[in-house]
A = this chain, B = another copy of it.
Amino acid sequence: MNRSSKFVPYLILAVSLLAAKAGAQASQKVSAEELERYAKRVEAALKDQKIPGATVGFIHDDFVWVKAFGFSDLENEVPTRQDSAYRYASVQKSMTAVAILQLVEKGLIDLDAEVQRYVPLYPRKKYPITIRELLGHLSGTPHYVNRDVEQHFKDHKDTMQAIAVFSNFDLVAEPGTKFVYSSYGYNLLGAVIESVSGEPYSRYMEEHVWKPAGMASTRMDDPLDLIPHRVRGYQLKDGALKNSEFIDVSSRFAAGGTRGTVPDLLKFMDALNHGKLLSPQSLRLMYTPMHTRDGKISGFPNTAGYAMGWNVIHRKIGEVYTNDGGQQETRTFILSVPEKHFVMALAINLEADVYDEILFPLFELVMHEKLVDPDPRKQ
């Protein structure tokens, strides 16, 4: 599979994302009318699915479109904005993978080194586990073990405390043998970033990922900080909307402890594809699906595999890289088709996987291909 030529970063045009007025001008390829019809579908989806608020957008070549729907606060009837600040949840993992690969580029991390080389206090398990395995969810490190406790932390945790949550857990699979999606594995990568860089994760990300990509509104989701346009999140209980349970996501820092805007998510992917964050070689590595030892592609069903922080989907128009996040208060989705200079992101403030009607039509509208086959058994 020789895809390297596809990854020569395309030139980024002088686009000020937030200045771009949604719907004010049309792309060459998408008309204002089409976007308006799409917006109507999204409004209907919000109503159908009881989604309080959503923001969705894309960049296609030099065309930027972002639109907000519904409410970011139902109790106070605050409308959602383009720059409403949602919890990112697990789409943060893509940024963590980028940071690790930056440190590999600098020679500070060896992808095949044992994680204890960088985090010596992390207890050795039955088998050694490597950085590469952690990136691909192939280390056998478990995901949440006691969900009733671990997914509901309400106190603030530093990195030491976040790792201590799972440091005594046994592996659930021999490393390299099985795809075991694990937020803990990505938190361990966050600890590696801190150990190797000598900086807190947040400062490293700020300096080496968020600022270089122009992501001015992305930050750790500290419940005490005054975060402009912080979105309130909701859940459905017996069919009725309720406020989300309060949790403090500091314990999920590198795996999902951030907050920011849909435009920032677009900028992240755009910067990545323009070569602002990683070299072409690293980019290629990051986007390449990993294998289990038996030679099989590793990853979620109905995908072409999990790379490093990204799912890969084969489409006619090119390789599609996606990631999604789910957490109290939020659902998020990011998608990148580097060959088509297309990136797309959405966030909703409802804890329910009900954004298909926001996601699929927009992809199809701009890419002229379905994101998933109608019959999932064919995928």
Chain A interface residues toward B at CB < 8 A:
72-76, 78, 116, 119-123, 146, 148-149, 154-156, 158-161, 163-164, 167-168, 191, 194-195, 198, 200, 223-230, 235, 237, 241-243, 245-246, 248
Contacts and interface: CB of A to CB of B under 8 A. Distances in A.
B121 A163 contact: yes
Given A72-B76, A116-B198, A148-B146, A154 B224 contact: no
A246 B230 contact: no
A74 B229 CA distance: 9
A164 B153 CA distance: 15
Contacts of A148: 146, 149
Contacts of A146: 146, 148
A229 B121 contact: no
A167 B163 contact: no
A120 B195 contact: yes
The oligomer's copy count stands at: 4
Contact of A226 (B119, B120, B225, B241): B241
Contact of A246 (B122, B167, B246): B246
Contacts of A227: 75
Given A120-B194, A195-B120, A223-B243, A228 B75 contact: yes
A225 B195 CA distance: 34
Nearest to A191: B121
B74 A226 contact: yes
B160 A76 contact: no
Contacts of A242: 224-226
A68 to B, nearest CB: 13
Residue among A164, A235, A245 with most chain B CB within 10 A: A164
Given A163-B121, A223-B243, A224-B243, A229 B75 contact: yes
Is chain A's interface secondary structure helix, strand, loop, or mixed overall? loop
B198 A224 contact: no
Contacts of A225: 242-243
Given A73-B78, A116-B198, A160 B226 contact: no
Contact of A158 (B167, B223, B246): B167
A119 B121 CA distance: 8
A158 B160 CA distance: 12
Please provide the 10 A-B residue pairs with the shortest distance between their CB atoms, ordered closest to farther: A164-B164, A154-B154, A120-B195, A160-B167, A161-B164, A246-B246, A75-B230, A224-B242, A76-B78, A160-B164
Residue among A72, A121, A159, A194 with most chain B CB within 10 A: A121
Contacts of A158: 123, 164, 167-168
A248 B116 CA distance: 26
A133 to B, nearest CB: 20
Contacts of A164: 158, 160-161, 163-164
A271 B242 CA distance: 32
10 contacts: A73-B73, A120-B195, A121-B163, A149-B149, A154-B246, A158-B164, A158-B167, A161-B164, A161-B167, A226-B242
A72 B78 CA distance: 12
Contact of A121 (B154, B156, B159, B243): B159
A246 B74 CA distance: 19
